[in-house]
Amino acid sequence: MAVTQTTEPDSVLAKALKEGLIAGALALGLFCLVVGFRTEQNIRNELILTHRWGLLTIFVLGAAILRFVITYTAPLRAERKKIKRAVAVAKEPSAFRRSFPKIGLGLLLLYPLLVILILSAYQGSMMGGLQASLKYVDNFGIQILIYVMLAWGLNIVVGLAGLLDLGYVAFYAVGAYSYALLSTHFGFSFWLLLPMAGIFAATWGVILGFPVLRLRGDYLAIVTLAFGEIIRLILINWTAVTKGTFGISGIAKATLFGIPFTPGPTGFAALLGLPNSGVYYKIFLYYLILGLALLTAWVTIRLRRMPIGRAWEALREDEIACRSLGINTTTTKLTAFATGAMFGGFAGSFFAARQGFVSPESFVFLESAIILAMVVLGGMGSLVGIAIAAAVMIGGTELLRELEFLKLIFGPDFTPELYRMLLFGLAMIVVMVWKPRGFAGSREPSAFLHERKMISGEFTKEGHG
């Protein structure tokens, strides 16, 4: 850096041009065969070589220009960073950052109404707005909030207690199947089964917790991973009860304290004298999952100020010291597993009620990995950071479906959502390089004597299982 700063602008330009050309040449070498050529089978099963020079040009130019811009602006950025560092000696969190949770909460509460209003204005009719909002409330709102809730639940286990759990989706599955089975066989209502699903999942959390009490780090991760797979395989193979890969369909919908969301005369719309629409159920589900997610957040915030929450965090920092202070680490770990699993169970039963259909395909390891990625990207232990990570990751993949203009660049058969995993990986690498402790790298203390100071992530530990 020091060298580039002292050099003349001309030489910076020359250097940037050179590096850009090199990057372009490298990209050409790398992508020439991978992107530039393509083999297809024609109707007679013959391989036909096609060229994609345009796409290759885009790749090469992209790499060259990106490298050029990065190198050219490097001295500038270094300068700016220096100034920033000099200015930001005692940086207080800005007013926006401090009130961010409140603003976010307000937005979440108003989100369906805002969507309907905007779309109604856009479409010119109230009914058209309602119908069009279905996608935004369901695909974006509900989908994101389910993951926010799951990530907040896993945060108790991973972020607070520092126990690396790779099989969290198992509890989600237990919750979903408890609701699906008990409601189809016994006809219990959603409001009875919601707490029951939580209790079942928590029981499974304790069952998983016992054998892994002595395990730490990698070993714990492997056993929890295996646990997740075991649950999934049971769901697939215990066909007498779970119907295997066919899944359970026709699961009863949730009701608003007994009022069903059906088009009939006793339905929600008819009772309120509203025109029939599927939107009401979606909006109801949105507020339901928002309430459940906020319950998770509230409980987490309260628990952190309880002795058990502090014991979880102490356990993450140093287990031996915990034992020397008279903390029963066995029960502490089990409560962490059980509490985390319980929220996973709630989310699962909600998921079953929303989909009306569950099958083992929804509970694969990838789901666990995604939820864990949200916790890690968001910053372990930070609710706001995790919510942002969940919104970005789930909302981002949903947005990919909308990006039609990408087809203009990459050709008509380009399906952006197929690149979801690639983008996930890239996003994780970028965030981990840029902010190794996640979006919210600091920890809020649970108690204070003089003033509440945020604790920098460099002091907190990730836990060792």
Q: In the complex, which residues of this chain contact another protein (CB under 8 A)? A: 299, 302-303, 305-308, 310-311, 313-314, 316-318, 320-329, 335, 443, 445-453, 455-456, 459-461
CB of 95 to another protein, least distance (A): 22
CB of 335 to another protein, least distance (A): 8
Give the 3-state DSSP-derived string for the chain, with helices as H, strands as E and coil as C.
CHHHHHCCHHHHHHHHHHHHHHHHHHHHHHHHHHHHEEEEECCCCCEEEEECHHHHHHHHHHHHHHHHHHHHHHHHHHHHHHHHHHHCCCCCCCHHHHCHHHHHHHHHHHHHHHHHHHHHHHHCCHHHHHHHHHHHHHHHHHHHHHHHHHHHHHHHHHHHCCCCCCCCHHHHHHHHHHHHHHHHHHCCCHHHHHHHHHHHHHHHHHHHHHHHCCCCHHHHHHHHHHHHHHHHHHHHHCHHHHCHHHCEECCCCCCECCECCCCCCCCHHHHHCCCCCCHHHHHHHHHHHHHHHHHHHHHHHHHHCCHHHHHHHHHHHCHHHHHHCCCCHHHHHHHHHHHHHHHHHHHHHHHHHHHCEECHHHHCHHHHHHHHHHHHHHCCCCHHHHHHHHHHHHHHHHHHHHCCCHHHHHCCCCCHHHHHHHHHHHHHHHHHHHCCCCCCCCECCCCCCCCCCCECCCCCCCCCC
Q: Which is nearer to another protein, 362 or 460 (CB)?
A: 460
CB of 154 to another protein, least distance (A): 19
Q: Give me the amino acid identity at 373.
A: A
Q: What is the rounded radius of gyration, in angstroms, for the C-alpha atoms of the chain?
A: 26
Q: Which is nearer to another protein, 323 or 420 (CB)?
A: 323
Q: Which is nearer to another protein, 232 or 316 (CB)?
A: 316
CB of 304 to another protein, least distance (A): 10
CB of 343 to another protein, least distance (A): 14
CB of 305 to another protein, least distance (A): 8
Give the 3-state DSSP-derived string for 211-255, with helices as H, strands as E and coil as C.
HHCCCCHHHHHHHHHHHHHHHHHHHHHCHHHHCHHHCEECCCCCC
CB of 377 to another protein, least distance (A): 19
d(CA 319, CA 371): 25
CB of 384 to another protein, least distance (A): 18
Q: Which is nearer to another protein, 133 or 460 (CB)?
A: 460
Q: Which is nearer to another protein, 368 or 382 (CB)?
A: 382
Q: Which is nearer to another protein, 131 or 446 (CB)?
A: 446
CB of 380 to another protein, least distance (A): 10
Q: Which is nearer to another protein, 139 or 446 (CB)?
A: 446
Q: Which is nearer to another protein, 144 or 163 (CB)?
A: 163
Q: Which is nearer to another protein, 183 or 335 (CB)?
A: 335
CB of 323 to another protein, least distance (A): 5
CB of 337 to another protein, least distance (A): 15
Q: Which is nearer to another protein, 18 or 461 (CB)?
A: 461
Q: Which is nearer to another protein, 23 or 336 (CB)?
A: 336
Residue keyed to tokens 């929890």? 224
Closest CA to 344 of 105, 184, 187, 165: 165
